Structure 1
Amino acid sequence: MIETDILVIGGSAGGILTATTARRMYPDKKVVMVRKNKTVMVPCGIPYIFGTLYDTAKNRIPDEMVKNAGVELIIDEVISVDKDKKVAVLKSGEEIKWDKLVLATGSLPVIPKWLPGHDLENVFPIIKDEEYLANMLNKLQDIKDVVIIGGGFIGVEFAEQLSKAGKQVTLVEIANKILWQAFDDEIAAIAEQDLESNGVTLKLGEKVKAILGNGKVEAVELESGEKINAQAVILSMGVVPNTELAQQLGLDLTRKGAIVVDEYMRTSAPDIFAVGDCAVKRDCFTNRHVPILLASTAAMEARIAAANLYGIRLIRENRGTVSAFSTKIFNKTYGVAGIIERFAKEDGFDYIVGKAATMDRHPGSLPGASKVEVKLIFSRNSGVLIGGQIVGGDSVGEMINILSLAIQKGITANELSTMQVATHPLVTASPIAYPINAAALDALVKICNR
């Protein structure tokens, strides 16, 4: 029997960071991490295997990070856990005795077993396994027509990458807009225009009735009766928490199957924690459960769990999940943090919107300059920032991180409008038109003149 102080089950972002942070926080403790897969894929990098990298090996998270931290890595599968005896049993038959347990079991793709043809050859759910993805890459090489079902981030990114790879791509989304859960309609419309102008066919407000074919995919039939030629179908219909072990342990779960945790990632059982996609996420404004399954969120949760395994050492301000996203579609970057206007309206927030548009270099005639559009949402009475959306060049990726921190800290329109920024002609917007300052000022004027 192997004995350890801390056992982490799962080896993607949440598991890796929990294990390595625990070693730093508790250098006298032994940490063991068990994962099923021989290698680990960068989850958000998976679409880019198919249009930029063309090699699964280039999308690996290296094991050196874990091993160099002094974490013992075991490639195996945990098939059962006894929470009273504190023993985990591996598929190989080996047993691990633990003192603290962290579940970082991640999520599983939604596979629509109700959909006729879901099991045909060349129907690909997105599975985070290198061998599977390498086989998928190989099969897609000689395929021309691809249908993607689902217009969230992964579906849109696959559409962009496969289009770059020379495929004829059709994306089918049941909602009337792509990325509708993350962005307001005017931002989503920009992404739609970019996809269509680069040859991607969008079928919005459409439901798939069946995947057709004789053993292998030949077409996709919509509820409208339209049939779309397809040699392959990619299922990008979301994911669900992987909580098989949590159910076996009798842990409290939400109605949708996520593990219930407190501010410190503690589950309903003593000495058992959960981080990442398998753990519940709560909106930072409404405290409702939200399906925000991101590696960046898992990383934050991992740091919290690891620091507090043996007592609460770092007090956490309970702000919940800020829902910060970013993506790049062809030449534009999109970022969002906090609540979007549509949901603010639905939830009854009294809010003010501030907007600004400028170039991200000064002067805008410099090479590489891009237009940046910012939309900020503030509480009308307090002036506190509750949400932000940005579209533009590569600088969007870091600007949205500024807004994420501002939301977490309750920064106001006045504070953002007077935020002191470092600017330079070659790397930022002008100091007299810095987009976050300008959008905050636009909102502040409305608040002061109401």
Structure 2
Amino acid sequence: MKVVVVGCTHAGTAAVKSILTNHPNAEVTVYERNDNVSFLSCGIALYVGGVVKEADSLFYSSPEELASLGATVKMEHEVEIIDVEHKTVTAKDLTTGSVETVSYDKLVMTTGSWPIVPPIKGIEAENILLCKNFNQANVIIERAKEAKKVVVVGGGYIGIELVEAFVESGKEVTLIDGLDRILNKYLDKPFTDVLEKELVDRGVTLALGENVQEFQADAAGHVNKVITPSQEFDADMVIMCVGFSPNTTLLKDKVDMLPNGAIVVDKFMRSSNPDILAAGDSAVVHYNPSNSTNYIPLATNAVRQGMLVGYNLVEQKLAYRGTQGTSGLYLFGWKIGSTGVTLESAKMNNLEVGATLFEDNYRPEFMPTTENVMMELVYEKGTNRIVGGQLMSKYDITQSANTLSLAVQNEMTVEDLALSDFFFQPHFDRPWNYLNLLAQAALKDLAKN
């Protein structure tokens, strides 16, 4: 059986390993247009900020490892044509220019995503940078040595983490986002209010509810000004972090896709063409809170889906359990976790929900120290099914986001969580764990309605 894997970051790396484990006799050929595999782009901000000293530590595999497992790895090869009728792939060697065409029995599309580049006037100016792969991370680090005024466009996780990294390294930082709140996809307003105040207190200039209208450059072509409809900001460097779109043009009109280009797959990672499987940022996920198809480009989704490709390559063996879009963030000492829908995003997912906001210390006050935990539970009206949750504290409560993720995945109710069995030990929590207390507060809210 000949298997061609196109793209080899998170989903591709996981797929190759899983295919060779489950099908040791498969002939696996990997095409990757970059000179590296498995780069943890979620660590870029840590690398930029100097927390991670060695870039090599952000790779968890290598072409050599995949080759040692039995794969034929073609690095710096750009796939140009996929012929789904004749089941062939044509690729160009970017170092020599030579072109080859190979046949396949099964094709695995793990081509990932690419940063969205809006059509803004002046965006071609020097020092307007993207933040996705290893080479881009190195460019950001090199250019940041000379930059004093940095503008980050996009207030999602990557943008916020870069803001922190630049602040910690002494830069003057401006954050611009078209939405009126940072981290809009992950947190509701009570949480983002706290974090926005933290950013302002740290000297960050926030321009929220503003879209970039134009970039201006100096005589040498370097960006020096970012213009919005109401303001102008000086800049030595701009990082664009406005989102990602799937890299799937090779299969356009050849398999079913969402309007944004994400390949529609079933719970066994199969596309509408039974011989083409897809995983990671190039594919959709099943979103458990709303029981719907969604596009959520996260490394965690990618490695799970990549693993499932190997299990389900020739038969349906292991079904995808879906995702809650669970995530965590560290920002200036705040530990933040979220899962599922927010009160705000529930509307976009056609869910009618209620939400309870609750605060308490994570452990008893008689202990030498304790910390406040801000929490929110989001639940479906009528069923009390838990569909989301958020937590934030100076104490590390982020693993509780994983607990809430399991609650969503397993369709637990507010009542279930209110009475769930958690241990008590004064070093760590109260007789009632703070998640119990959160759900019990939600029960009180429900009793009022």
1:396 match: secondary structure:
coil
2:159 match: secondary structure:
helix
5 Å matches for 1:8-47? 8-40=5-37, 41-47=39-45
Give the corresponding residue for 1:329: 331
CA contact (8 A) 1:9 1:105 kept: yes
- 1:440 is displaced (CA, Å) by 1.0
For 1:316 and 1:229, how far apart are their aligned partners in 2?
Answer: 47
Q: Residue 132 and residue 344 in structure 1: after superposition, are their counterparts in 2 closer, same or farther (change >3 A)?
A: closer
Quick check: 1:98 aligned with 2:104?
Answer: yes
5 Å matches for 1:44-83? 44-51=42-49, 52-53=51-52, 55-63=54-62, 66-67=66-67, 69-75=69-75, 76-83=77-84
Quick check: 1:111 aligned with 2:117?
Answer: yes
Give the corresponding residue for 2:96: none
CA contact (8 A) 2:290 2:350 kept: no
For 1:333 and 1:206, how far apart are their aligned partners in 2?
Answer: 27
For 1:178 and 1:278, how far apart are their aligned partners in 2?
Answer: 25
CA contact (8 A) 1:417 1:438 kept: yes
CA contact (8 A) 1:360 1:393 kept: no
When structure 1 is superposed on structure 2, of 336-345 and 351-360 the one drifting more is 351-360
Q: What percentage of aligned pairs have identical amino acids?
A: 28
- 1:286 is displaced (CA, Å) by 3.7
Give the corresponding residue for 1:292: 296
Give the corresponding residue for 2:127: 122
5 Å matches for 1:377-392? 377-392=378-393
When structure 1 is superposed on structure 2, of 343-352 and 435-444 the one drifting more is 343-352
Give the corresponding residue for 1:416: 417
TM-score by length of 2: 0.90
Structure 2: which amino acid aligns with 1:95? T
For 2:142 and 2:165, how far apart are their aligned partners in 1?
Answer: 15
1:170 match: secondary structure:
strand
Q: Which ranges in structure 2 are unaligned for 5 or more consecutive residues?
A: 94-98
1:340 match: secondary structure:
coil
TM-score by length of 1: 0.90
Q: Residue 394 and residue 42 in structure 1: after superposition, are their counterparts in 2 closer, same or farther (change >3 A)?
A: farther
For 1:349 and 1:135, how far apart are their aligned partners in 2?
Answer: 42
Q: Which ranges in structure 1 are unaligned for 5 or more consecutive residues?
A: none
Quick check: 1:7 aligned with 2:4?
Answer: yes
For 1:264-321, what per-residue CA distance to the aligned partner results, in whole angstroms no more than 9, with x for missing partners? 221121210111111123533445554411111112222332211111112455xx44
Equivalent of 2:237 in 232, 255, 258: 232
For 1:22 and 1:359, how far apart are their aligned partners in 2?
Answer: 47
Give the corresponding residue for 1:269: 273
For 1:286 and 1:424, how far apart are their aligned partners in 2?
Answer: 36
Q: Residue 287 and residue 433 in structure 1: after superposition, are their counterparts in 2 closer, same or farther (change >3 A)?
A: closer
For 1:131 and 1:208, how far apart are their aligned partners in 2?
Answer: 25
- 1:198 is displaced (CA, Å) by 1.8
RMSD value over aligned CA atoms?
A: 2.3
CA contact (8 A) 2:263 2:282 kept: yes
Equivalent of 2:189 in 169, 185, 191: 185
Give the corresponding residue for 2:311: 307
Q: How many residues align?
A: 438
When structure 1 is superposed on structure 2, of 321-330 and 393-402 the one drifting more is 393-402
